[in-house]
Structure 1
């Protein structure tokens, strides 16, 4: 079960990144070009936010039950001070929750705004910050060469 959730979590991050990049790009182009906020913009923001929350749900399954780095690892962190346990047990989990919340707040703020230019500006701001946090907290091979980009 652990391996299945880990594979799902690893592969679905690419959907978060793809839809996040598209949503931020569309928001920037719409804001700078003063374009109307169309259904494709709404769809990209919904996809980005939706995949963020899917990642959170899968991640919580890993954190609270199956991962040796989640809650199980945090129980012994005081004795070991392992940086990998700290990253996955605290930093990765907390910052990714903040990023998902920012994406959701941005989606709500966009839906409540009437002016298209302001919608794009809010989408760019919230989604851009959320995507930046995601990019910082993904365990890329740069920070941890032992972790592959694609789990099989």
Structure 2
């Protein structure tokens, strides 16, 4: 079960990144081009938020149940001194939850905004910050532990 969730979590990240890039791009072009907020804009923001929360659910399953780097590892003495354990046990989960909350809050704010230009602007800000946080916390191996980009 651990391997299945790990592979799912690994591949879902690309759906999150892809939907996030598209949502930020559409928000920016809509804001700068002063175009109407369309059903397509709403759909991609829903996809971005939905993929984020699906990723969070799978990640929480790993964190609380199955991963050797999750909650179990944080209970071991000296866990905060190990950079890999600290990253997955605290930094990764905290920042990714913050990113998911930002994207969801942005989606709610966008839906409750009257002006189309303002909708695009707010979507760009909230989705952009959420996407940057996601990109910072993906384990690329640059400033955090390396993990394979594609698991099989």
TM-score range (shorter-chain normalised) is over 0.9
Question: In 2, distance between residues paired with 1:107 and 1:62?
Answer: 26
- The question of whether the paired residues in 1 share the 8 Å contact of 2:79 and 2:85 is answered with no
| Offset, 1:143 | 3.9
Q: Which residue of 1 aligns with 2:126?
A: 126
- The question of whether the paired residues in 2 share the 8 Å contact of 1:77 and 1:85 is answered with no
Q: Which residue of 2 aligns with 1:55?
A: 55
| Offset, 1:147 | 1.6
User: The residue matched to 1:12 in structure 2 has which SS?
Assistant: helix
| Structure 1 residues not aligned, in runs of 5+ | none
Question: What is the RMSD of the two structures over their aligned residues, measured on CA atoms?
Answer: 1.3
Q: Which residue of 2 aligns with 1:113?
A: 113
- The question of whether the paired residues in 1 share the 8 Å contact of 2:87 and 2:144 is answered with no
Q: 1:76 to 1:110 in 2, by over 3 A?
A: same
Summarize the alignment of residues 1-150 of structure 1 with structure 2, pairs less than 5 Å apart: 1-78=1-78, 81-143=81-143, 146-150=146-150
Question: In 1, distance between residues paired with 2:37 and 2:150?
Answer: 35
- TM-score w.r.t. structure 1 length? 0.96
| Offset, 1:77 | 4.7
The count of corresponding residues between Structure 1 and Structure 2 is 152
Question: In 2, distance between residues paired with 1:25 and 1:79?
Answer: 39
Describe the superposition over 1:13-61 as per-residue Cα deviations: whole angstroms up to 9, x where unpaired: 0000000000000000000000000000000000000000000000000
| Offset, 1:79 | 5.7
| Structure 2 residues not aligned, in runs of 5+ | none
Runs of 4+ in 1 over 3 A off after TM superposition: 143-146
